[in-house]
Amino acid sequence: ILGVGDTHETSVEFECKPWKAPKANEEQCELCNNDPNGLPCNEYRCRSLGEGCQIMEKSELYESEIDVCYYAGQGDNTPPKISPKEIQNGYKFDNEQENEYVEIRTDNGGCIQQHSQLNFTLKTTEGGKPEYAICAYNWESVAPNPEDNYASVPEGTPFNGQKLFATTHKFEGTLPGIEDAENVQGNPGERTGDVNMYVRCRDYGNDGNGNFNPTEYVINFCITDAPDTTIAEIREYSPEDGSYLAYGVNKSSLTIKLNEPANCRWSLGTDASYEEMTDFLSCEDSYGSPQIDWKCLTELTGLTQSQNNIYIKCNDTSGNINSRGFLYTLYATQNPLQITSTSPQGTIKKGGFPIEVTLQATTSGGAYNGRANCRYEFNTPSEFSGMGDAFTTTSSTTHEYELTQLYLSGDYNLSIICEDDAGNKATKDAIFNLQIDDKSPKIARVYKSGGFLKVITNEQARCYYHPSRCNFDLDDENANSMTTVFSTEHTADWIAGIEYHIKCEDMFGNINPGCAIIVSPS
């Protein structure tokens, strides 16, 4: 070796073994959820942070749009700590005993009306930080299951209404009646008693097997059967208040959800007395097991005005009736929904695979000035008949979908179906002829013009020549371009004594497999 000093030879051995993640802790796993570049966490990135880091997919989490990296190592054997977080107005948490017990009372410290609808939220933590857990409750104490460490969820009714991991746990339901209470005192109409809710939670620790709080967290309610003087309230309308009827339609079904059981009636146009109103077809008008709401269903008729005002009054189980009707309004659609244009139409020429054709439509009219959702369905050719999908760009007045599965030349007929939120529908066909160019360019003419070789192709193309062979790539260093842009005319200097091995590429990427022609000037 020239130009260097003394050298010596050594051996280096490389050995490939399965990679083992380093020991991790909660902070290291959290790095995946807080990427400085905003990258979402995934299973590979999570597990690479260390042993014990596991991914919880968004399908396992309550109201989450992303996956979460979580420490679930064998060293985590601590069950989640349960504590109160927030409660609806008019109520308060009281006499809390950490991780064991809390009372819920009215703001003035009194007992709560039996069968009251109540919302409150608990939180789970570990070491002062939010802890993902699944929590469930029972109205009676439930002995711990010896298999709990390996069960997927605690026994009982899940908070948040779903068996999903969360750091906050919402109860939204109805309290039991005085007949379900303990320690009842007083005469009917003024009785009070205790009802307990028993809560148990499971986290994601212990190597994924979960840690359960062995002692139930107890929430105590003092309830009373004192007379109810509050009216029933409508919590939800379906269709929503202010919705539109479909064009030409003068009736609608209606479902309302109440905060307590009641019988409801309705009147059209004027706020009539309860006795003069029309009954709903059916109402859930009694207390059963604790539930979140009570439904009433009916069919509204005679909706012939541009604005239809419906008044609703409800009579609860204590005889309370709202003096002023709840106003519910439905509007008439003034114009039908229309599909004003579709494309493509006529003949289109495409090449290269996959074939991409942009399907487009525009809409107008209907309840929302043309805003609608559209889908398409193939009518022909028979190979595609019945196939279809929702437009990827829609919920607007312009709609678009990229067709990528077309592989046959010929006639296509697709039905485009659009519908707005009021139920107005419109259909129109997109009819086109697809010509797929999968053939490479052909040489139509070769001649000498002055000092140049000129080649004419049968379509727009770019042509190249090689001085010695046909099996060359177009980006080969010895490939000489005869065209700067796609054209049917291609030119090279006329040089006697060399062979022009010419191949061409059209606008769709079709390239001559060998030479399109070999020209030998003389």
- Say which CATH number the domain at 486 has: 2.60.40
Which H, E and C letters describe 369-427, residue by residue?
A: CCCEEEEEEEEECHHHCCCEEECCECCECEEEEEEEEECCCEEEEEEEEEECCCCCEEE
Predicted model pTM: 0.62
Quote the number of domains for the chain: 5
What range defines the domain where residue 44 resides? 26-71
DSSP 78: P
Query: Residues with Cβ < 8 Å from 447, sequence gap 6 or more?
Result: 454
Instruction: Decide which of 437, 454, 489 is a domain's last residue.
Output: 437
Residue 42 predicted with pLDDT over 70: yes
Do residues 450 and 426 both lie within one domain? no
Q: How far apart are CA 104 and CA 357, in angstroms?
A: 62
Residue 304 lies in a domain: yes
Average per-residue pLDDT for the chain: 89
Mean pLDDT along residues 434-459: 93
Q: How far apart are CA 276 and CA 383, in angstroms?
A: 61
Q: How far apart are CA 408 and CA 436, in angstroms?
A: 7
Token pair 């919302």 is at which residue? 119
pLDDT above 70 as % of the chain? 93
Residue 4 predicted with pLDDT over 70: no
Do residues 342 and 389 both lie within one domain? yes
Q: What's the pLDDT at 76?
A: 72
Residue 239 lies in a domain: yes
pLDDT digits (tens, 9 = 90+) for 252-296: 999 999 988 899 999 999 999 999 999 999 998 776 555 667 899
pLDDT digits (tens, 9 = 90+) for 294-333: 899 999 999 999 999 999 999 998 899 999 999 999 999 9
Residue 8 lies in a domain: no
Do residues 381 and 417 both lie within one domain? yes
3 state DSSP class of 89: coil
pLDDT digits (tens, 9 = 90+) for 111-124: 999 988 899 999 99
Residue 39 predicted with pLDDT over 90: no
Residue 20 predicted with pLDDT over 80: no
- Torsion, Cα 395 400 405 411, to 10 degrees, reads 120
Do residues 315 and 357 both lie within one domain? no
Q: Which of 395, 431, 425 has the alpha carbon at shortest distance from 413? A: 431
Instruction: Decide which of 386, 402, 437 is a domain's last residue.
Output: 437
Which H, E and C letters describe 100-156, residue by residue?
A: CEEEEEECCCCCEECCCEEEEEEEEEECCEECCEEEEEECCCCCCCCCHHHCCCCCC
Mean pLDDT along residues 429-455: 93
In this structure, what are the phi and psi dihedrals at residue 150, rounded to the nearest 5 degrees?
-120, 5
- pLDDT tier for residue 360 given thresholds of 50, 70 and 90: very high
Instruction: Decide which of 332, 347, 376 is a domain's last residue.
Output: 332
